[in-house]
Amino acid sequence: MSRILVLVRHGQSEWNLKNLFTGWKDPDLTEKGVEEAKSAGRKLKGEGFTFDTAFTSELGRAQRTLSLMLEELGQTGLETTRNVALNERDYGDLSGLNKDDAREKWGEEQVHVWRRSYDTPPPGGESLKDTGARVWPYYIHTILPRVMAGGTVLVAAHGNSLRALVMALDGLTPDQIVAEEIATGVPIIYRLKEDSSVAEKRVLAD
């Protein structure tokens, strides 16, 4: 009974590199992002992981990250489920804008609130709380049962959808989670207890 959950944020995207708000837009990975994804796969292989199933979002950068990891793991045929519930937070009217340009338009303080508050959404978009409202039920009803059945489950998703999951798993407050950084291409490994709480957490950083 392994009950292992591994979370990986997609590798660097072209818009991460250009300092743009991405959200539900769908830029590809950069060369660095491709290497980050492959590196994550190699790290997991080096730890001896074999996965029973994988979950990812409807966005290409997360799907490609997953594919690159599975190639390194030698598990390209793995059962994979894609769902919009794991998509990045929707940045609404900010999507596609340069973060510096957004600060010029709305002011440093307002953009900071939109980026880093827990429950204040940008115009037309989602807050982290809103993102969690779709991530948590999907985790509870779809992902968690596979883990609790003794599975080893891989989730390739996004900074904010994974932030919502980490908040629940680690029992963090809204103030704590907005300060939590989730690095691109770095596996976060959870082993769960029989009651679904966390027995152990490890981060496979360089």
Q: What is the pTM of this model?
A: 0.96
User: For 61-81, what is each residue's pLDDT tens digit?
Assistant: 999 999 999 999 999 999 999
Flag whether 136 is in a domain: yes
User: For 102-119, what is each residue's pLDDT tens digit?
Assistant: 999 999 999 999 998 999
**113-118 CB contacts, 8 Å cutoff, 24+ apart:** 116/178, 117/178, 118/174, 118/175, 118/177, 118/178
Flag whether 22 is in a domain: yes
CATH code where residue 48 lies: 3.40.50.1240
Domain count across the chain: 1
The catalytic residue positions are: 10, 88
